[in-house]
Structure 1
Amino acid sequence: MLEKSSQPGELREMTKFGRSRRQVLVAGLVAATLSGLSVAAQAEADKVKVGVFPISSSLPYFVAIEKGYFKELNIEPETIRLMGGPPNVAGLMTNQIEVSAVLVTLEGLNADVKKPGVAMYVAMHSQTSVYKMEQFVVRTGLADKVKSLKDFKGLKLMTAPGPANLNTAKGILAKNGLKEGEYSIDQLDMGQHVNAMKAGTFDGGYTLEPSATMMEKMGIAKTVEAGVISKYVLGDEKADAFAAGCAFSSDFIAKRPDVAKRFAQGWAKAVDYIKKNPDDARKYLAKNTMTPDDLVDSVPMLGYEMVGNFTPAQLGYLQKFADFGTQIGVVPEKVDVKKFLKAY
């Protein structure tokens, strides 16, 4: 009797065990499926080849990576380190890169004349006497003699590489009364600027950040004047000099419009973060650019803007700068800058 009466209980236990086992199996299958979908989603992230000039002007790119903004938008940037404008231009023209972060404006416009629309700017970076980037520096030993740009007469100077930087430096010196031949000036890779000044190879030059801040911190050079494009080219120290920015190739925009749009959204989110949290954003300069850890808090920031937010005045400044590029022979012909801006 006992044996007979125990069968329903055993059946109930077996049924419970079977149901529990099925639930475990189903849960496992669901988890495995979700895991597989997650892996697949990661594998399907849209890769974008990005040419990167590792200076403070490229900060939005590094912020977008470090804060996960590109990842959130299913973008996987492939960073290709390119020092200066010419290699970035070459990369865009040959489709070896789809995005340049960042591209010197006059060199981008020069490329646009040669191959219309090859460099479409989605964001640009303003520099003034406050938002410092390009600036003239002099060796500390000559600081007492060189008080202004006209005092560079007879000195041996260096400049950031590329025809835009070289000819802009010459153009600004000309506006200060110095003719070619009254000084010497040579292009030098940005990675060598600090050491060249430390060795006394040059008396001064036209350099970029963070090199200028590094030189001053080391006591080997002093800034003679910053915001020189705003003052001498645009005629107003407070004018936005958009000398560089983030540019997409036209092929990237045309062939992968959704990916291009999402990349721009990630960049815009980074720009917004920098504006709201400048002190925190600075820390991303340390490991991504040539900025030493102890200088992160003192390197000047730039006025980062998406071109879709430009005011009429800012468009006017950009056009005036482009016209200057034509005057100094960097941009072969007069261009309408609005044709090479892509707003998102």
Structure 2
Amino acid sequence: MYLNMLSFIGKSKRKLTTGALLLSTLLMLSACGTNGSGASAGGSAPAPDAGKSQAAAPAASAPAQAPASAPKDVAPINVAYMPDMHGATPIVLGEEKGYFKEAGLKVNAVKFLSGPPEFQAMASGDIDIAYIGPGATFLSAQGKGNIIAIDSLNTGDMVYATKKSNIKDWKDLKGKTVGVPKGTSGEMILNLGIEKGGLKPSDVNIVNMDVAGAVSAYVSGKVDAVAIWSPYTAEIEKQVGKDNIVKLGDNKTFFPEYVFPQSWVVNPKFLKEKPEVVERFLQAWAKANDYRMKNIDESIKLTAKFTQVPEDSLKAQVETTEWIDSKKQIDYFKDGTVFKWYENLEKLFVAGEKLTEVVPADKFVSKDLYLKVIK
């Protein structure tokens, strides 16, 4: 049984910029989707014209045999992934290692490049479970998706200025043009940096761009700076050279006050109607997550094969990630750490007027579900 890999195209009428066509294979993937978490890191650019096209999944080795106790009824489930080590690898491993088969699941893997379109797809019933980056968390806080697991903590969001812009510090962004996919973790880092520099967002010419467009604009010198994330930062470095980049900051610049969790969320309606299927998915996901952490090199190779993203780019993303195994995740759920992470993020969303108030995290984080399923 192989993943049924779908390429989802969102409902906005905006097109990807022609600059994207000039990018390498990594960014050409953007033409198939929208814009992390993702994100990778859960980014959030507008989507191209609505529609859905189905393509054959990349060849994969035979999955491990499921035990005799595997459920007899096979439940179909539509899962949104992003083509990176966070949003794709658990899905690839779940299939390759037989975890989905063991759980009695038939997974349709649907490709996205950002969080908000995933929530739109959940609202329309097209998606049941999705990976999101930190930037789309506010939509969960609005009640549009229940967080069921923490994929990892992201440190790969970065703000890069061009050398010719003469930007050397956050305060130098005043009056400059910055490309960023809005509603993403990249925008969150940008806004924190603007505040750190004693500026207001209105002091900066912030231009909303999709992922490929933002990278292309930076490479071609059409913007002074860009707020983007790994593995797309690796593409920028490859295109212009590290010596021509001025890095203003990343997630770690704002640790420990702000931590940036990447999550797996479930459609609230699907959770209500089919809680046992969600539990099956969570069991398989946890096994895949733990396997990923113990077998990074193999996971990179399998993910590269499935997503067609170069291994070097995926390796760079691993270096900007703090992984969380099942045992540690249980502890974080039990002691309330997870709730603190999300409620701190919400403060940023309130400041950015995406939320009117901080919503108690236990309203949208399904702590009890994780603790019930993962022993």
- Asked if these proteins are the same fold (TM beyond 0.5), I'd say yes
User: Quick check: which has more Rg, 1 or 2?
Assistant: 1
In the other structure, the counterpart of 1:48 is: 77
Q: Give the conservation status (yes or no) of the 8 Å contact 2:231–2:314.
A: no
Tell me the CA shift for residue 185 of structure 1: 1.3
CA contact (8 A) 1:73 1:262 kept: yes
Change (3 A) 1:330 1:171: farther
Measured against aligned partners, the alpha-carbon deviations of 1:206-265 in whole angstroms (never above 9, x if no partner) come to 10111001211333563614443x543x554xx6321x3110112222211221111111
Equivalent pair of 1:120/1:249 in contact (CA under 8 Å): yes
Distance (whole Å) between structure 1 residues aligned to residue 322 and residue 362 of structure 2: 19
Check 1:304–1:235 CA distance in 2 against 1; reply closer, same or farther (3 A cut): closer
Task: Pick closer, same or farther for the CA change 1:110–1:295 going to 2, 3 Å.
Answer: closer
Q: Which amino acid aligns with 2:168?
A: K
Distance of aligned partners of 1:291 and 1:139 in 2 relative to their CA distance in 1, 3 Å threshold: farther
Kindly tell me the number of residue pairs found equivalent between the two proteins.
290
The answer to whether the Cα contact below 8 Å between 1:150 and 1:178 also exists between their aligned partners in 2 is: yes
Match in the other structure for 1:120: 146
Unaligned stretches of 5+ in structure 1? 1-40
Q: What corresponds to 2:17 in structure 1?
A: none
TM-score normalised to structure 2 length: 0.68
Q: 2:129 is matched with which residue?
A: 99
- Residue in 2 aligned with 1:315? 339
TM-superposed deviation, 1:267: 1.2
Match for residue 57 of structure 1 among 63, 86, 92: 86
Q: Distance in 2 between matches of 1:256 and 1:107?
A: 24
Find the counterpart in structure 2 of residue 210 from structure 1.
231
- Residues in 1 aligned to 2:210 and 2:84: alpha-carbon distance in whole angstroms: 12
Q: 1:248 to 1:285 in 2, by over 3 A?
A: same
Separation in structure 2 between the aligned mates of residue 146 and residue 205 of structure 1, nearest angstrom: 12
Contact 1:124 1:304 in 2 (8 A): no
Distance 1:215 1:240, change over 3 A: same
Residues 104, 298 of structure 1: alpha-carbon distance in 2 compared, 3 angstrom cutoff: closer
Residues 56 and 210, structure 1, Cα contact 8 Å, conserved in 2 = no
Root mean square deviation of aligned Cα: 2.9
SS in 2 for 1:124: strand
Q: Does 1:262 align with 2:286?
A: no
Pairing 1:128-143 to 2, within 5 Å after superposition:
131-142=154-165
Q: Which residue of 2 aligns with 1:3?
A: none
Query: CA offset at residue 164 of structure 1?
Result: 6.3
| Deviation string, structure 1 residues 85-127 (Cα, Å, up to 9, x no partner) | 2211111222221111x224453433542xx3x3111122443
CA, structure 1 residues 181+335, in 2 after alignment: closer, same or farther (shift >3 Å)? closer
Question: What 5-or-longer segments of structure 2 have no aligned partner?
Answer: 1-69
Q: Could you give the per-residue CA deviations for residues 250-309 of structure 1, whole angstroms, max 9, x where no partner exists? A: 222221122111111111112111221223222234244473234333333522446544
Q: Does 1:240 align with 2:269?
A: no
| Greater helix fraction, Structure 1 or Structure 2 | 1
Per-residue deviation at 1:77? 1.3
Change (3 A) 1:89 1:210: same
Amino acid at match of 1:271: N
The separation in 1 between residues aligned to 2:192 and 2:214, in whole angstroms, is 21
Q: 1:68 aligns with which of 86, 89, 98?
A: 98
Return 197-206 or 164-173, whichever deviates more.
164-173
Whole-angstrom CA distance in 1 between matches of 2:78 and 2:181: 25
Q: Which of 192, 198, 204 is the matching residue for 1:183?
A: 204
Which one-letter code corresponds to 1:121 in the other structure?
I
1:303 aligned residue (322, 337, 341) = 322
- Aligned identity (percent) is 21
* Aligned twin of 2:267: 249
Which residue pairs with 1:278 in the alignment?
A: 296
